[in-house]
Amino acid sequence: MLPELHPVMLQHFKPPQSAPLNVTLSADRSASAREGAFTISYYIHPDYHNVKAELVSSKGVKVIGRSTMYLTRIEGEQSIKYQAISDDSQKVRVRISAVHKDMPIIVEKRINLSST
């Protein structure tokens, strides 16, 4: 008879088939040194609701447009424009928050926009 494994240990043997919140960031390679855009691509499992994306930029970057947006589709892309206001670090943090079975879920991604 095999010993019973703890549920936390079982997750190592049965990894999830797909991520319920899948978010990727990609920078526009044709961006100039002072302005450009990046894209947020996402897939959200239908069981998640109140999905919100918040953008937080470093001191060297100004995000043009809304810094908070609700993601109402299961999957999609959002293009975000930015303007470099100094030669400091040009980074943006994207925080995706959602609710699943009354539990808050948060996914954070970062992108470095510095052009070299």
Residue 13 counted as domain residue: no
CATH number for the domain spanning 56: value is 2.60.40.1230
Contacting residues for 92 by C-beta, under 8 A, at least 6 apart: 38, 55, 56, 57, 58, 61, 63, 80, 82, 110, 111, 113
- pLDDT of 84 reads 84
- pLDDT of 3 reads 60
Comparison of pLDDT for 29 and 12, the residue scoring more: 29
- pLDDT of 9 reads 64
Domain that holds residue 58: 18-112
- pLDDT of 1 reads 45
Residue 108 counted as domain residue: yes
Whole-angstrom distance, CA of residue 81 vs CA of residue 40: 11
Q: Total structural domains in the chain?
A: 1
Residues 58-92 pLDDT 10s: 888 889 988 999 998 889 998 889 888 877 678 88
Whether this prediction's pTM lies above 0.85 is answered by no
Residue 50 counted as domain residue: yes
